[in-house]
Amino acid sequence: MGDLLIRNIPEALRADIEALARRKGQSLSEAAREALRAGVAAVGKATEENDRLPAGDRLKAIFAGVFESDDEAEAFQKELEAMRRNDIGRPVPDFE
C-alpha cells in the first residue's frame, strides 16, 4: 500500500477530520482515508450523472450561482443562441 502526503490542508478541514476520527473512534489516518474514499466516490458519481445530462443542463450546472436571477440566466442563454445563429463558421475556401 502506498503513502500520500498532502500539504497545506486548511486548519478547519483538519479539525473536521480530527472530530470525525474522535466520533468514530478512529485514528486521524483512518478517518482521512474514509473521507477521501467517500469524496472520490461522490465526485465520480456526480461526474457520471453530469456526463449523462444534455449539454444545456451541464452548462446550467457549471454556471449555477453565477447569475443573480433566473431572468439574468435566461437573458444570457438567449444571447448565446443569437450568437450561435449568426455564426456561419469558417469562411468557405475559394477553390479557383
| 96 part of a folded domain | no
**Residue 69's pLDDT is what?**
83
pLDDT for the residue numbered 28 = 94
State the pLDDT at residue 31: 94
Positions in the chain short of pLDDT 70: 50, 88
Give how many domains the chain has, as a whole number: 2
CA distance linking residue 16 with residue 25, whole number of Å:
14
Are 37 and 45 in contact by the 8 Å Cβ rule? The answer is: no
24/38 same-domain check: yes
Q: Domain limits at 60?
A: 54-87
Q: What is the structure's pLDDT at 88? A: 67
| Residue closest to 58 by CA, chosen among 48, 70, 44, 71 | 48
Encode pLDDT of 41-58 as tens digits: 888 777 777 677 787 777
* Per-residue model confidence (pLDDT) at position 27: 95
Angle (deg, nearest 10), helices 11-24 and 28-51: 110
Contact 27, 21 (CB under 8 A): yes
pLDDT for 95 equals 83
